[in-house]
Every structure is written in C-alpha cells, then in structure tokens.
Chains A and B, each alone.
Chain A
C-alpha cells in the first residue's frame, strides 16, 4: 500500500519569512510522481508544484521549491517570502502505479501579518 505522512497538522509563518512543510511517503513503485496542492479556505484545490521521481533536480515554481530526498522518501515544500495569500491547507500527494492520487492528511498554514 502507498502512504503519505504529513507530521505537521498546523504551521504558522510571518509574512515575508520562509517556511518548510514536511512530507514522507512510502511506495514500492519505481516510477511515481509527487505533488503539493493547496486548498484555500472555501476554495478549490490547486496544484502548487510537482516532482517526477526519476528527476534528481528539485522542482521550483517561483517562491515554491521542494527538497526531494528519494532514498529517504522525503518530499518537503519550502515557501519563500510568504504572503497572506499563501494561507491554506497544503496536501502532499503521491501518484504511482495507478491513476489515483494518495493524499496526506494536510498541513494548515497560517500566515501572520
């Protein structure tokens, strides 16, 4: 079975500061994909960043970057220069061997002005 663990139910950060959200996963698949999605309050879930497991280079999207440690099965998200609009529930997601996405329980991020 594939699993995703997010050990931080809640995190907070000051505006303009940097925060890192943790995620570990488990899969027996050799080919898989990892994602971070955000779900703002009362709004739909949107993709933040994706990482192909076969790529060694960490993905980056503007202020968002990941630290992908394949051997450790770790996939953390770093948000730089945090903005009020970054406040949301963040889900770490694994997709491997099938169509379905396997979600972690989420980390609620609060951005303080």
Chain B
C-alpha cells in the first residue's frame, strides 16, 4: 500500500493555459474523488468515480473542467483556459467501494495561475 499519489505536486501556469493533473489511487480502490481547497477554506467536492464511471459532479465543475478515469485506475483532471480563480490545492482521495468507507487523501497538487 503506497498511498494515494498525485502529480505534479506544484504547477505554475499563465492565465489561459491548459493544465492536467494526475491521481493514482490506492490499488483496488474502486472509488476516486476530486476536491478543491482554496486558501483559508475547507476542501470542496468536485466529482467522483466508481471505477471508470463518473457518477456525480459538483456545480463547481464548470465547462472548463473535465475529469476522466479511463481504465478505472488512475484519474486525470484537466482545466482548460485557466483563470486566476482556479488557483487552489486540488486533492484526490480514494476508497475501497462502500459509500461510508474511509477516504484516503493524496498530498494534493497546488496550482498557481499567474
């Protein structure tokens, strides 16, 4: 059990550029979650997957955001045409399968949009 990993850990980009983040969940964890944490706030739910199926999306996930989990293992979160308001920590979490299972978090990707 190597834990949830995220790559990159830090990303600095210019406004208008596209960025993509990757999350590798704990192996055999069927559910994968994305959260966004802005400065001074608690994380906010963005979306989650059961295997490769995206089952719920927050209204925070605008059309510029897209998430995938093509083979039910790792997941990617892409932000197109980044804005300064997208600057945040993007957290990934995974759990075995039940809705009340403990979610294990990755270290996060800190995005700074200049």
> Which residues of chain A have a CB within 8 Å of any CB of chain B?
4, 33, 37, 43-47, 50, 52, 91, 93, 95, 98-106
Contacts and interface: CB of A to CB of B under 8 A. Distances in A.
Contacts, number: 51
A44 B99 contact: no
A44 B105 contact: yes
Nearest to B41: A105
Interface string B75-105: 0000000000000000100000001101111
B100 A95 contact: yes
A100 B102 contact: no
A33 B102 CA distance: 11
Given A44-B4, A45-B91, A105-B40, A100 B48 contact: yes
A24 B33 CA distance: 24
A50 B101 CA distance: 10
B107 interface: yes
A105 B3 CA distance: 25
Nearest to A92: B42
A15 B11 CA distance: 37
B43 to A, nearest CB: 5
A33 to B, nearest CB: 6
6 contacts: A4-B42, A33-B100, A44-B108, A99-B48, A101-B35, A103-B42
A95 B56 CA distance: 14
B100 A103 contact: no
A58 B48 CA distance: 30
Contact of A99 (B31, B42, B102, B108): B31
Nearest to B6: A44
Given A45-B91, A99-B55, A100-B58, A50 B102 contact: yes
B99 A99 contact: yes
